């Protein structure tokens, strides 16, 4: 058999590394980084190199499955499954109305460049607001904060070329994720090294000495949940030293004096005590950030999952803005995007336009639409709460609610209550095990895709269209196709930005993508015909003079921000090491993290990746192990006000004492105990979504969770 080699990009995670795949006898046998790619330069990670095993594993679902009356799954022809699913959806809409049918797009929904858009178009067409994604249990607070702050039309500074970068609670060299000014997720180690060699100073604020913290100029090992305190002190200090961009603030910023008063309580000493940092470190962070010419401060999932996330994100916007970190008149916008219309970029503030408080309302906790979608943290309750508008059917696109949603027991009750659960999933995931139908997905190498998700994450106008490398498994469906199948059977018009989709003739993926990018400056055909990733240097946009005689100003004190700052300053000082929550005393704060060898719950199935670990260890400082008479490998119970789980302790000197660092999306269904060492535990058993939620996004506290621990006899585990 001959071996053919194909250029494409990896879709195991959202970093979309350019790769070469060797195919023999219709099967991928090897993956390498494409060293000729102008952005990735040959970078890959351990996950992407396992695509051959992902395609070959017997655990992979290759045909569509239906649950029978005994609860077992039986193969069903995919067209028959599409008929049956459509009939059941139609009947639920007729009985309960369109809101009763919901979609949840999980991380693998995002990996298909057409899924989100077609699913959303279908929801619009049937009149169902019940459209949910993992974004609203991820980092929604950043966009919420930005939307009420205002934005600079010329764009903000990028990582590349900056003199300082402050990373607050993210670890992009492992997560490959900072699509908003942090280290670009493409070959991040090399990018960090190159910029630091050029002179960039990197400040990392994280309770763990992460992979990026170890490479930083200075690491501030903050107490979890104290980011707003830290940021308020940084802002106070640089304002006192008059290190902010005074001219920029005078021209473009509102309420600076009032903000100055509100941050007054946050002296270096006060903040240092609360954050468990040295005052000189906060001073260093403030002065280094403010004195640099170009810079970016960015956050990640850490602070977004900890208390007061919108305040944290607001203070990050404030820090960047009062230091004038925006592209000025005449500067080139490094990447205006290749797949979207080129728009003018004036040197002006775009008026704040809060991305909440309008649109459909949720039936629970006073929540409503955010960022144009419904809050996933309320989805379980929307399924469980009887009455008009109750959700009866859920289509889950490459997501795994059973291990990803807050409050695992509640999620189980919700999934069981549904009349219809359809999962498009590669494996018998914890959630798919509860489904009525599991639709076999068309896998990455079997389909066309374009780098639509990451279009504006690059620091150059780069784009990559890949055609399918392998023939398609005819019994599979792409995530977007499920909606086309339903639409064509129900006669539901599907409107995409470039026009209506044919309901009689199955559109090709190219046609769908063309419809989504119809206004792009470069025709999709041209991008496709490159046959590889390419930088489209012709797309050049410069920041132009403002044509608005009366432009808006950045809002330093919108909505609830003044109250939140006051409340933060009033919080009682913590005494000793005791942590009080819900009238109980706890000893540790449990924080979130990512592991290099898996992508949330994906990868835990592959033998090559399991060689790197088969559980999500409870990483703790050796000092803590000693004082609790524990040692690496012992089983512990971790208990919060909401629930408990079992975990395997692992000594890690990079974790701050008093903290437990543990990855999410491990484990199985809650009654599947006893296999913690081989499948891990879901940290969402510890999340209390009734009490600790953010009033705007509904997202509960998923990091900095007060917990206590005790050793467990192995026989009990």
Ligand X SMILES: Nc1nc2c(c(=O)[nH]1)N[C@H]1C(S)=C(S)[C@@H](COP(=O)(O)OP(=O)(O)OC[C@H]3O[C@@H](n4cnc5c(=O)[nH]c(N)nc54)[C@H](O)[C@@H]3O)O[C@H]1N2
> Residues interacting with ligand X, by CB under 6 A?
13, 106-108, 134, 137-138, 168-172, 174-177, 205-208, 210, 222, 224-225, 227, 300-303, 305-306, 398-401, 404, 424-427, 429, 441, 443, 479, 591-596, 598-602, 661, 664-665, 683-684, 687, 702-704
| 461 is a site residue for ligand SF4 (CB under 6 A) | no
Q: How far is the CB of 399 from ligand SF4 (least distance, A)?
A: 18
When CB distances to ligand SF4 are compared, the closest residue is 48
| 48 is a site residue for ligand SF4 (CB under 6 A) | yes
| 12 is a site residue for ligand SF4 (CB under 6 A) | yes
Strands (E), 89-180: 101-105, 131-133, 151-152, 164-168
Structure tokens belonging to residue 351 = 């008026």
Q: How far is the CB of 49 from ligand SF4 (least distance, A)?
A: 7
Collapsing DSSP to helix, strand or coil, 87 comes out as helix
Q: Which does 16 bind (CB under 5 to 8 A by kind): ligand SF4, Mo ion, ligand X, none?
A: ligand SF4
Q: How far is the CB of 142 from ligand X (least distance, A)?
A: 11
What is the distance, to the nearest Å, from the Cα of residue 708 to the centroid of all Cα atoms in its chain? 28
Instruction: Please give the backbone phi and psi of residue 203, each rounded to the nearest 5 degrees, phi first.
Output: -115, 125
State whether the Cα torsion 651-657-660-662 is positive or negative: negative
Nearer of residues 630 and 665 to Mo ion, judged by Cβ: 665
Structure tokens belonging to residue 247 = 């001219």
Q: How far is the CB of 681 from ligand SF4 (least distance, A)?
A: 24
488's CB contacts (< 8 A; 6+ apart) are 503, 504, 506
| 8 is a site residue for ligand SF4 (CB under 6 A) | no
CA distance linking residue 376 with residue 133, whole number of Å: 7
Nearer of residues 437 and 599 to ligand X, judged by Cβ: 599
| 176 is a site residue for ligand SF4 (CB under 6 A) | yes
| 15 is a site residue for ligand SF4 (CB under 6 A) | yes
Among 45-53, 216-224, 402-410, 466-474, the segment contacting ligand SF4 (CB under 6 A): 45-53
Collapsing DSSP to helix, strand or coil, 39 comes out as coil
Nearer of residues 138 and 639 to Mo ion, judged by Cβ: 138
The answer to whether 101 and 92 are in contact (CB under 8 A) is: yes
When CB distances to ligand X are compared, the closest residue is 302
What is the distance, to the nearest Å, from the Cα of residue 696 to the centroid of all Cα atoms in its chain? 18
In the list 21, 28, 39, 47, the residue contacting ligand SF4 (rule: CB under 6 A) is: 47
Q: How far is the CB of 485 from ligand SF4 (least distance, A)?
A: 29
Q: How far is the CB of 14 from Mo ion (least distance, A)?
A: 9
Query: Count residues contacting ligand SF4 (CB under 6 A)?
Result: 11
Neighbour tally for 451: CB within 10 Å: 23
| 136 is a site residue for Mo ion (CB under 5 A) | no
Q: Which residues pair with 611 in a beta bridge?
A: none
Q: Which does 640 bind (CB under 5 to 8 A by kind): Mo ion, ligand SF4, ligand X, none?
A: none
H/E stretch holding 7 reads strand 3-9
Q: How far is the CB of 113 from ligand SF4 (least distance, A)?
A: 14
CA distance linking residue 554 with residue 239, whole number of Å: 17
| 469 is a site residue for ligand SF4 (CB under 6 A) | no
SS3 per-residue string spanning 503-560: CCCCCCHHHHHHHHCCCCCCCHHHHHHHCCCEECCCCCCEEECCCCCCCCCEECCCCC
Q: Give buried/exposed letters for 306-325 (b at 16+ CB in 10 A, else e).
A: bbbbbbbbbbbbbbbbbbbb
In the list 17, 259, 422, 589, the residue contacting ligand SF4 (rule: CB under 6 A) is: 17
Task: Using alpha carbons only, give the angle 150, 152, 153 rounded to the nearest 5 degrees.
Answer: 115
In the list 129, 138, 381, 479, the residue contacting Mo ion (rule: CB under 5 A) is: 138
Q: Which does 555 bind (CB under 5 to 8 A by kind): ligand SF4, ligand X, Mo ion, none?
A: none
The residue ranges that bind Mo ion (CB under 5 A) are 138
Binding site for ligand SF4 (CB under 6 A): 10, 12-13, 15-17, 44-45, 47-48, 176
């Amino acid at each position: 058999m001959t071996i053919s080699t194909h250029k494409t990009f990896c879709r195991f995670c959202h970093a979309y590394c350019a790769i070469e795949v060797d195919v023999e006898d219709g099967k991928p046998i090897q993956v390498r980084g494409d060293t000729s790619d102008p952005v990735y330069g040959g970078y890959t990670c351990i996950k992407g190199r396992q695509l051959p095993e992902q395609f070959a594993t017997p655990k992979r679902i290759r045909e569509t499955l239906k649950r029978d009356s005994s609860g077992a799954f039986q193969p069903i022809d995919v067209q028959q499954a599409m008929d049956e699913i459509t009939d059941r959806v139609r009947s639920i809409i007729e009985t309960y109305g369109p809101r009763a049918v919901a979609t949840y797009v999980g991380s693998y929904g995002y990996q298909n460049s057409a899924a989100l858009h077609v699913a959303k178009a279908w929801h619009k067409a049937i009149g169902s607001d019940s459209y949910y994604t993992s974004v609203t249990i991820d980092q929604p607070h950043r966009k919420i904060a930005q939307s009420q702050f205002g934005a600079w039309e010329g764009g903000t500074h990028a990582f590349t070329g900056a003199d300082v970068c402050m990373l607050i609670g993210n670890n992009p060299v492992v997560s490959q994720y900072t699509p908003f000014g942090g280290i670009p997720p493409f070959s991040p180690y090399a990018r960090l090294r190159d910029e630091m060699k050029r002179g960039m100073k990197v400040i990392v604020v994280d309770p763990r000495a992460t992979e990026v913290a170890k490479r930083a100029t200075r690491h501030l090992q903050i107490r979890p949940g104290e980011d707003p305190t830290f940021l308020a002190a940084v802002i106070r200090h640089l304002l006192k030293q008059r290190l902010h961009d005074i001219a920029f603030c005078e021209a473009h910023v509102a309420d600076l004096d009032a903000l100055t008063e509100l941050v007054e309580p946050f002296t270096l000493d006060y903040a240092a005590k609360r954050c468990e940092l040295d005052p000189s470190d906060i001073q260093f962070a403030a002065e280094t950030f403010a004195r640099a010419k170009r810079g970016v401060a960015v956050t990640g999932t850490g602070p977004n999952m900890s208390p007061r996330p919108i305040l944290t994100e607001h203070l990050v916007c404030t820090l960047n803005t009062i230091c004038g970190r925006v592209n000025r008149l005449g500067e080139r916008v490094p990447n205006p995007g290749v797949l979207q219309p080129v728009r003018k970029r004036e040197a002006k503030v775009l008026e704040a336009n809060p991305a909440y408080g309008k649109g459909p309302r949720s039936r629970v906790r006073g929540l409503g639409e955010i960022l144009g979608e419904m809050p996933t943290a309320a989805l379980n309750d929307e399924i469980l709460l009887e009455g008009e508008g109750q959700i009866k059917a859920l289509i889950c696109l490459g997501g795994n609610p059973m291990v990803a949603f807050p409050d695992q027991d509640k999620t189980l009750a919700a999934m069981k209550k549904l009349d219809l659960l359809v999962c498009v999933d590669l494996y018998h995931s914890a959630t798919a095990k509860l489904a009525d139908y599991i639709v076999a997905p068309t896998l990455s190498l079997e389909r066309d895709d374009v780098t639509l998700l990451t279009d504006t994450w690059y620091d150059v106008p780069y784009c990559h269209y890949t055609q399918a490398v392998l023939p398609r498994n005819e019994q599979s469906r792409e995530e977007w196709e499920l909606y086309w199948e339903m639409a064509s059977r129900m006669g539901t018009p599907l409107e995409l930005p470039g026009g209506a989709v044919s309901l009689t003739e199955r559109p090709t993926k190219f046609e769908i993508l063309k419809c989504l990018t119809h206004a792009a400056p470069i025709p999709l055909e041209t991008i496709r015909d490159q046959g590889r990733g390419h930088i489209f240097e012709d797309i050049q946009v410069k920041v132009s003079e403002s044509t608005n005689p009366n432009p808006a100003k950045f809002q330093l004190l919108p909505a609830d921000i003044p109250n939140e700052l006051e409340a933060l300053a009033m919080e009682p000082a913590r005494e000793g090491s005791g942590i009080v929550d819900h009238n109980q005393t706890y000893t540790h704060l449990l924080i979130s993290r990512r592991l290099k060898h898996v992508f949330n719950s994906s990868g835990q199935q592959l033998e090559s990746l399991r060689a790197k670990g088969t559980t999500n260890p409870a990483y703790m400082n050796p000092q803590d192990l000693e004082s609790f008479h524990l040692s690496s490998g012992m089983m512990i119970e971790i208990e919060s006000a909401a629930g408990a789980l079992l975990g395997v302790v692992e000594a890690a000197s990079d974790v701050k004492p008093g903290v437990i660092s543990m990855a999410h999306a491990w484990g199985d269904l809650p009654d599947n105990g006893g296999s913690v060492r081989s499948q891990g535990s879901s940290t969402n058993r510890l999340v209390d979504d009734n009490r600790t939620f953010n009033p705007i996004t509904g997202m509960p506290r998923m990091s900095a969770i007060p917990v206590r621990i005790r050793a467990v006899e192995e026989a009990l585990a």
